[in-house]
Structure 1
Amino acid sequence: MKRQLIAAVGVAAMVVGVAACGSSSKKDDNAGGSYNGKTVTMWLMSGSAPQTWQDGVKQAFEAQYPGAKLNIQIQQWDGIGQKVNTGLSDGSVDVLEVGNTQTAGYASTGGLLDLTSDKADLGGNDWAANLNASSVLDGKQYAAPWYFTNRVVIYNKQLWTKAGITAAPTTLDEFYGDLDKLKASGVANPIYLPGQEWYTYFGLLSGEGGQIAVQQNGKWTGNLESPEAKDAFATYQKLQSYSAAPKDKDEATPQQGPLFAKGDVGSIIGLGWEAPAPKDMPADNVGFFPIPGKTADKPSGVFLGGSNLAVAQDSKNADLAKGLLKIALSDKFEGMMASTGLIPNKPSLDSLATTPFAQAAMKGSAVGATTPNLANWANVENPPAPIKEFMTAVLQGADYDSTAKKYDGQITDLLNQKQ
């Protein structure tokens, strides 16, 4: 899970061009109704699907397609970009998991099968629109949304109680007030929020109704100069002022989860895997609530990280691969993912996500967003990561407007580079 969630929001930078080996998919030859000798290879990333999910999908697939075999292979995120490129080119994979920020890159170079005509059969009419957005490129469906997650406030109940706080905040003003109380009670880090946690900033921006980049006259441009981006950063800057975390580091340098588990940090904004395990902190001492918005009726926007499932353009078993997708995306198996605390691809299954983290995350996911669905978005996330540099510069005292203009120029150049 930990590796998956990091990769789903960051590893897109490793996506490089994939040259499709053919112009159309190869269809199954199901002579006599037998699938004997056919094997569908599915690549899943380490930490994504529980073993019970894998076993159940394999059993259901092989029962529905007698004679066919499902070969699930677990891949590691390190070096996955090049491995996927090779697999899509040489036909060694049929169905694969791709992070939602990776999908456009693979689709744009011809590596993924167009599933537009199959969307309804796969259950797509019920998919949440904001979750499905990363699976669509230029109006065509190149993948299917599988599961998602987003950040919430994870807090130390013991410290909050000691500071006289009796209920979780529902507005930003209440949140600021609670952080003031934590600070007054002697907590050095009422919230641990490093300066480069751009996923939280992205969520705040989406909550303002803004976008990190926009299309103007057929060209994508950075949008940090917009009023919405400036307002969102003001919120981020105020939250960060309650933190002793460095302004030039992100949430993984060092990992914020272990820091929180030490017991002297009031709160973090994090993913489910960043909450302490019971052996490190009693479960009843860890609380969760959605990042508050300006009003109690609407939480802050959030970045939606997660994974999609896609079929390789040059799969030799395209029809079987689509059949596997239909099984994997069924309510039974989507519900199984939801029960582990993840957000399923359709709202009708939300009630199955019953963990405290999932219940808090679910509220934010309804107003969540993903990064621009562009093949070149990876260039922006790739070091030197202009959004992170921008955030550090402003937090360290640089003028917002001139700094935003500088980094908008960098983002614009990166988004319009030729592949």
Structure 2
Amino acid sequence: MKPWLKLAAGAAALALAAGGCAGSGGSGATGAPNDTLTVWLMSGSAPTTLTDELNKEFETSHPGVTVKYEVQQWDGIQQKLTTALASEQPPDVIEIGNTQTPFFASQGVLADLSGSVNDFNGSQWLAGLKPSGEYGGKTYGIPFYAANREVIYRKDMFEQAGITAPPTSTAQWLDAIAKLRAKFGSDPDFQALYLPGQDWYALLSFIWDNGGDIAQPSGTSFKATLDSAGSKAGLEFYKQLVDASATKAPKDTDEANPQQATIYGAGKVAMFIGLPWEVATAAKTDPSLTDKSGAFPIPSKTAGQTAPVFLGGSNLGIPANSKNLNAAKDYLKLLSSAKYQTDLAAAGDVPGTSSDVNALTKDPLGSVMAEASKNGRAVPASPKWGDVESGQNPLKDMLTAYLTGKKTIDQATADADAALDKLIG
């Protein structure tokens, strides 16, 4: 699993040092002799072959500028960024999680890139990623790459159960579950769909597909809307899947506890909602799963359509105190070009630009992710969203309370709204 998908942002919990307020940003002349452009990208984000070529091309087109490329580790990056961005000598180009971007933008430590959006291939940005880089009507982060979930399934089990094609609606999905249980249900360990009780990423797809949402903008903050009719319908469908599949997954943990790929690797699960590279994890237990596994987009209630998916990933930004602002913009312009976005896609990521996702079609599982990404969305662009993920996540609490019957759907959603409003309202 990509590290940023399990990173707890915790952004709002970190206060910037009072003595390190950001300035307006340097104007460092492009190509100025003896300049050093410091670039921080995260471990696992871009292949070395890509960054080596990128840095060489940039230095060739900017005589006298040396790229100081530094790979950062996800563990501890929140505090490291907080300190660096408040200093007078920050890096010039940074990668930040897309749920972290609004927080740093709200602190005034990121450069306003609104006037350069077209230079960064802005017309091609994936619609679902663009809002995560915006704050207060301005753009502070540009989409780098992302990933989204899909339904991974056992092709051999589908065939044995008489399912001739992947489901293209929620009704067909439920029908496939029924056929799988009819065929393999005599095995007490069999699960047609492994679905843990707190997989709120999957829940978002069902909420959005039914016209609901987590929250809506309200002035300068957000108002939780989990008690809306559409959001409740999404929650009800989640329970319908849990009940129909008779999943044995815990109702009080998420997809990482235990790792669902390991459960799938044991050979008793026909489907799970996950990321393409989770198959490789499962194949460590059973290598045959590499060839036996296929994928289809999370179905919509509307036949022939796909449900919206959560896009988790990274943005690129420039610290407000960068002394090489113009050169940093040139670097982002190059990295966001079709050439390097296509290379990202070839490496297995959903690139930030929609025109280049088709490079993922070389991988059968990746091609499904790429297609679904075009109907992707992000979480509310609140500076305080990190508190939702790193603390007592109201979405997880809501799911467990409703699935276990401890609360009615009205009680569970109302309580979740109240908790969310305290965090992001």
TM-score (norm 1): 0.93
1:333-412 equivalences in 2 (<5 Å) = 333-354=340-361, 355-397=363-405, 398-412=407-421
Structure 2 counterpart of 1:82 = 79
Alignment length, in residue pairs?
411
Structure 1 counterpart of 2:147 = 149
Gaps of 5+ in 2: none
List per-residue Cα deviations over 1:336-390 (Å, max 9, x = no partner): 0111222222222232121212221223222221000010111222221111011
Name the CA distance, whole Å, in 1 between partners of 2:233 and 2:226.
Answer: 10
Distance 1:251 1:319, change over 3 A: same
**Matched AA of 1:215:** P
The question of 1:106 aligning with 2:97 is answered no
Q: CA contact under 8 A between 2:212 and 2:226: conserved in structure 1?
A: no
Structure 2 counterpart of 1:273 = 277
1:103-182 equivalences in 2 (<5 Å) = 103-182=101-180
The question of 1:303 aligning with 2:307 is answered no
**Matched AA of 2:300:** G
**Matched AA of 2:230:** E
Q: CA contact under 8 A between 1:42 and 1:72: conserved in structure 2?
A: yes
Corresponding residue SS for 1:293: coil
Name the CA distance, whole Å, in 2 between partners of 1:189 and 1:383.
Answer: 31
Structure 2 counterpart of 1:57 = 54
Name the CA distance, whole Å, in 2 between partners of 1:170 and 1:13.
Answer: 38
Name the CA distance, whole Å, in 2 between partners of 1:289 and 1:178.
Answer: 13
Structure 2 counterpart of 1:5 = 5
Structure 1 counterpart of 2:323 = 316
**Matched AA of 1:314:** N
The question of 1:26 aligning with 2:16 is answered no
Corresponding residue SS for 1:87: helix
Corresponding residue SS for 2:291: helix
Distance 1:134 1:301, change over 3 A: same
Name the CA distance, whole Å, in 2 between partners of 1:274 and 1:141.
Answer: 33
1:186 positional shift = 2.4
**Matched AA of 1:352:** A
Name the CA distance, whole Å, in 2 between partners of 1:216 and 1:146.
Answer: 28
Name the CA distance, whole Å, in 1 between partners of 2:6 and 2:43.
Answer: 12
The question of 1:235 aligning with 2:237 is answered yes
Name the CA distance, whole Å, in 1 between partners of 2:25 and 2:221.
Answer: 32
Name the CA distance, whole Å, in 2 between partners of 1:178 and 1:309.
Answer: 41
1:218 positional shift = 5.9
List per-residue Cα deviations over 1:45-98 (Å, max 9, x = no partner): 111111111111111111111121112211111111100001112223111111
Name the CA distance, whole Å, in 2 between partners of 1:342 and 1:377.
Answer: 24
Structure 1 counterpart of 2:197 = 195
Name the CA distance, whole Å, in 1 between partners of 2:303 and 2:321.
Answer: 49
Name the CA distance, whole Å, in 1 between partners of 2:421 and 2:131.
Answer: 22
Q: CA contact under 8 A between 1:14 and 1:82: conserved in structure 2?
A: no
Corresponding residue SS for 1:145: strand
Which residue among 282, 293, 300 is the counterpart of 1:286? 293
Distance 1:5 1:216, change over 3 A: closer
Q: CA contact under 8 A between 2:345 and 2:356: conserved in structure 1?
A: yes
1:112 positional shift = 0.7
**Pairwise CA RMSD of aligned residues?**
1.8
Q: CA contact under 8 A between 2:354 and 2:374: conserved in structure 1?
A: no
More displaced stretch, 105-114 vs 216-225: 216-225
**Matched AA of 2:408:** D
Distance 1:12 1:57, change over 3 A: farther
1:231-270 equivalences in 2 (<5 Å) = 231-241=233-243, 242=245, 243-270=247-274
1:13 positional shift = 4.8
Q: CA contact under 8 A between 1:15 and 1:81: conserved in structure 2?
A: no
Name the CA distance, whole Å, in 2 between partners of 1:14 and 1:213.
Answer: 18
Q: CA contact under 8 A between 2:148 and 2:311: conserved in structure 1?
A: yes
Name the CA distance, whole Å, in 2 between partners of 1:388 and 1:13.
Answer: 19
Name the CA distance, whole Å, in 2 between partners of 1:163 and 1:180.
Answer: 9
Corresponding residue SS for 1:82: helix
